[in-house]
Amino acid sequence: MSDLHIHNHEDHSHSISGHYGAQKRIGFAALVTFAFMIAEVIGGLVSGSLALLADAAHMLTDAGSLALAFAGYMIARRPADLHRTFGFARFKVLAAFVNGLLLVALGVWIVVEAIHRILEPQPVLSGVLFVVAVLGLLINVGLFFMLHADHNHDDVNMSGAIAHVLGDLMGSVAAVTAAIVIWLTGWTLIDPILSVAVAGLLFWSAIPIIRKSSHILLQGTPKGIDLPAIAQGVIAHIPAIRAVHHIHAWTLTGEDRLITLHIVPHERKNAMDLIPEVRRILESEFDIDHATIELDLEPLDECDFPSVDRLAAHDHHH
């Protein structure tokens, strides 16, 4: 009976220790966000401010989203098994995708509520609004800088968490501004108007997260990976290879890069020796440290690419 080795692909990120620190920061942010959300709900109900209630709803969503991001790091570290041979690393990306959708949903809710407030203006107690909003602003500024410390921009899970906190921060800024304007002029429409502005910022921060996480979930080619250049580079560095074809590149988490490809040698003799050479070229020239390389001894067909021009032509027709 042979041993079956399940490879833990998370090892390739070289960032496990960094993820522990990120997880702790997100967990702390979730607790603080939830605690202050309660204060904002009370302040919003007392003052009658939509901006404050919208920010409280945002903070409630954020507390749940930060908890989801926290769980993402925990689950991502679970080892691979026979049912999930790539492990759970991609759960972080799924958490980021869900968080992006939540940001959009929250923005829509704020816009709808703002329209109601514009059509039916309500009184707002600027003093209560100002005190609670300033406290929220200070807390969110602190959380933003805490999460942003040593942030790896390829970590979409942390990017999603930061986007939520940034949305909270902007909501607090809007609430403080609304309190000052209402106190000075009595113009209560500024409250829902600024809420719509916050919703716009939520959409602006959510779209890149949704786009990037969905690209990863769909196993799109990672940013910076040029498949024609890889085919051309392998052939240029190893003359014994006549063609490179069936190339697929993807990433599990956004922090790693994986590739599979077939190589066609000029001669069958010592053809197996080409595989470690290709792996070395991929790592040294293209920063790809996980490659599955198959030796193809069959005759070339229309899907084989001995040059970058043919690879580009295949990309166009398929």
CATH for 19: 1.20.1510.10
pLDDT of residue 119: 87
CATH for 292: 3.30.70.1350
d(CA 201, CA 251): 28
pLDDT of residue 277: 93
Residues 202 and 91 in one domain: yes
Query: What does the angle CA 47 – CA 51 – CA 53 come to, to the nearest 5 degrees?
Result: 65
Residue 286 lies in a domain: yes
Number of domains in the chain: 2
* Res. 189: pLDDT tops 60: yes
* Nearest-10 Cα torsion for 126, 127, 128, 132: 100
Cβ 286 vs Cβ 304: under 8 Å: no
Mean pLDDT (whole number) for 272-293:
90
Residue 222 lies in a domain: no
Q: Which domain holds residue 309?
A: 227-317
Mean pLDDT (whole number) for 101-107:
85
Record the pTM. Answer: 0.71
In sequence order, which residues have a C-beta less than 8 Å from that of residue 1 and are 6 or more positions away?
A: none
d(CA 84, CA 82): 6
Residues 248 and 178 in one domain: no
